[in-house]
Chains A and B, each alone.
Chain A
């Protein structure tokens, strides 16, 4: 079942007069993990934020090209960004639970769409926390603040919060860069589990992580200072890490720069 979930087509993205990424074309397959790798500043975070239109929040951003979600261009003026973000959830670099209880963090998304019934909410909160492998650790203290959890637990709470909205795609923007190796291991296991039901895109600066968990990898690079980030190579993760086609990819993954 190799259907395309997201198709990025000749995408350019500009901050004012500065072009951050140029001419990115990339297919993201349903129920697989696609990793975006590359050195800092190569535009990989910018690219992932184009997929749920988070860049809309920044003044002066201009996007050219198309991003198709199940065939519909999300940059059509008539496309509703709110609906889009419910279908394409996001987990951020630094765990960012709301300063609310664990329960309220997870119930936040469903409540936004008007869900009020206590039984219904209880069920969603429990299911989401289970899917995020956090339920057993927090089931007795759901009313405690999400901020009292450890960094790794906070990140899994953020994942549960996204799952509660029942998205189709989950974007991970360097989800493990602020947490310890043991917690990282847990989150990687979790992603492997989640890909059975969700399409996953992950930005990571950690090549080993990309090699461990992803099915497909895209390598991005800014070749000269001031130029936009471009996609250098995209393909099956194993193939790319064992036998990269582009010489620049090879130099990056063998650790010669970046």
Chain B
């Protein structure tokens, strides 16, 4: 929208008849509030992380794996977040490796394969899963997954592996729900055309429906990734919260989010600011994902 147009729109909002005006103003305020809070949060986090950036330097802060906070004398500590950044990226990566095929598979099952009754049951199940508080899923991971992994691998059982598994479950509702919507939007005529040519159901799904819904399936996966990157509680319960870089999925480590909640109680001064810098990194990751979504959906607009 050009500047001129948006000015016109603004004028329109304020120049309507009185009853219209009374409806439009609150709606305008709601929208403005949402935008304003995002801006405020971003600026606040940026401001709070500046002391750490200026005191430690970008390199020591973002590209070092040494995290040795000093509670009594914060300026004497080291605050490199690379180990946790790596933890976040690795848990998210493995969670998506498991969760994306599972979620997209479920979406295909719901939209294309399941008979009506089973479709309803599956859909309800996924909705319920979305409503389970993350602490419960984390607890389930802690009492079942961690001992199980410890038993079969001989490690402590904590680490990226259980965190990824827990996250894979938590991203399912996002991927499945959005994926189902995307598949539903594929015109029925395409499916009919394929079936009428003598394609089997699987050939139709694989050759026509999935390619036609590709962009929405990618977007649903990216949004699921956003959920995985931001999840805190469940991850903190199973990842072991060690301050080290993990070289295997079964070593204790931390993610950005779990490190923030673990340390925020005792952090002051530069220590506290370094945690804000982690929040900044998290925010930038999330924004990259949103840009990616916009990029993917824009390429769809061009091709159709």
Contacts and interface: CB of A to CB of B under 8 A. Distances in A.
Interface string B174-203: 000000000000010111111111111001
A29 B170 CA distance: 60
13 contacts: A59-B116, A82-B200, A84-B198, A85-B195, A92-B189, A92-B193, A96-B190, A96-B193, A98-B208, A99-B211, A100-B211, A112-B207, A145-B303
Contacts of B200: 82
Given A92-B189, A98-B190, A165-B197, 12 more contacts: A59-B115, A86-B197, A90-B196, A92-B196, A94-B189, A96-B190, A98-B194, A98-B208, A108-B207, A112-B197, A112-B203, A112-B207
B195 A57 contact: yes
A147 B187 CA distance: 14
B2 interface: no
Contact of A85 (B187, B190, B198, B211): B198
Given A59-B115, A108-B207, A99 B197 contact: no
B192 A86 contact: no
A54 B204 CA distance: 14
Contact of B195 (A54, A98, A162): A54
Given A108-B207, A147-B304, A57 B192 contact: yes
Contacts of A98: 190, 193-194, 208
A254 interface: no
Given A85-B198, A92-B189, A112-B199, A99 B207 contact: no
Given A94-B189, A96-B189, A147-B304, A86 B198 contact: yes
A151 interface: no
B197 A108 contact: yes
A161 interface: yes
Contacts of A90: 196
Contacts, number: 64
A229 interface: no
B50 interface: no
A228 interface: no
B283 interface: no
Interface in A79-114: 82-86, 89-90, 92, 94, 96-100, 108-109, 112-113
B28 to A, nearest CB: 39
Interface size class of B (residues with CB under 8 A): 20 to 34
Interface of B: 115-116, 187, 189-200, 203, 207-208, 211-212, 303-304
A96 B198 CA distance: 16
Nearest to A56: B195
Interface of A: 52, 54, 57, 59, 82-86, 89-90, 92, 94, 96-100, 108-109, 112-113, 145, 147, 158, 161-162, 165
Contacts of B211: 99-100
A83 B199 CA distance: 9
A41 to B, nearest CB: 19
Contacts of A82: 198-200
List of 10 A-B pairs having minimum Cβ-Cβ separation, nearest first? A86-B198, A96-B189, A90-B196, A85-B198, A109-B197, A96-B193, A82-B198, A112-B199, A112-B203, A85-B196
Given A57-B192, A98-B208, A162 B197 contact: yes
A49 to B, nearest CB: 9
A155 to B, nearest CB: 12
A99 B212 contact: yes
Nearest to A104: B207
A112 B189 contact: no
A102 to B, nearest CB: 15
A57 B194 CA distance: 12
B192 A54 contact: yes
Contacts of B203: 112
Contacts of B192: 54, 57, 92, 96
A28 B115 CA distance: 35
A140 B220 CA distance: 38
Contact of B196 (A52, A83, A100): A52
B212 A89 contact: no
Nearest to A94: B189
